[in-house]
Amino acid sequence: MNKVNISISIIFVIVISWIFYLTNFKQDSSFTVRYYSVAELSDISNQIDKVKVGGYIKPNSIVISEEDRLEASFFVYQNDDSVKVYYYGIRPDLFKDDAEVVVSGSFDNSQISATELQTKCASRYEGDLKNTEKI
């Protein structure tokens, strides 16, 4: 190995080690957040600082505050389980009943205080046909 190759290898090893250090598989890294299923959260009673959950908005569960229209709560469901989510801020345009969402935030008292609310990108919906008539 010549000096150029050695220097490149050293840089590579340092950066890769740094990456592994930043993203250890434990949950204590400041860069990582664990993805929970709604069913898992239903069984947890303690507080969790960072959670990420995906699912669908439970129909008729969206409650928007009369005082402040930016304040909303709703339930996210997967199969038969659901979890309550509180969110303050501008909601995406595609936020509505049965919309697929991903929320991130903290979990306490069986509810998620979301800091991030994303709906499925419009370009990726493969919805059912709407204007149909049975023969």
Partner 1 sequence: MISQIGSIAISLAGGLIFSSFLFLGLFNFLGKKNYLLVAERAILATCYSIFLAFFCLLNELLVSNFNLQYVAQYTSYETPMFFKVTALWAGQAGSLLFWSFITSIFTVVYIFTTLKRMNSLKFHSYLILAFIFSFFILLSNFIANPFDPVSADIVVQNGNGLNPLLQNFFMAIHPPILYVGFTGSAIVFVMALAASISKDITFDWVQSIRRWSLFVWTFLSAGIILGGYWAYNELGWGGYWAWDPVENSSLMPWLTLTAFIHSSMIQEKRGMLKKWNFLLATSTYLLVILGTFITRSGVISSVHSFTAENLGPMFFSFLSLLILYTVFWFFKRKSYLDTDDRIDSFTSREGGFLYNNLILILMCFTIMWGTLFPILSEAWDGNKIYVGASYFNQLNIPIGLVLLFLMGIGPLLSWNYTSKDILLRRFKMPSTISFISGFSYFLFSASFQLYVLVAIMGITFTLTSILGEFYKSYKKQKKSSSNIIVSFTNMLLNNRHKNGGYIVHIGIVLIFVGFIGRAFEVEKEFSLAPGEQIYFANYTFKLNSIESEARDNHYAFLSNIDVIDKENQFLTNLKPEKRIYFYWNSDPEKRQPHSELDIHSTIQKDIYSIFSAYDAQKNLGYFKIMINPLVNWVWIGGIMMVIGSLFAFWPSRIKK
Binding site for partner 1 (CB under 8 A): 2-5, 7-8, 11-12, 15-16, 18-19, 22-23, 25, 27, 30-35, 52, 54, 68-70, 89-94, 96-98, 100, 102, 104, 118-127, 129-135
CB of 71 to partner 1, least distance (A): 10
Q: Do the Cβ atoms of 114 and 86 come closer than 8 Å? A: yes
Of 25, 74, 29, 83, residue with least CA distance to 53: 83
d(CA 73, CA 14): 45
CB of 49 to partner 1, least distance (A): 13
d(CA 54, CA 102): 4
CB of 43 to partner 1, least distance (A): 15
Residue 27 vs 79, nearer CB to partner 1: 27
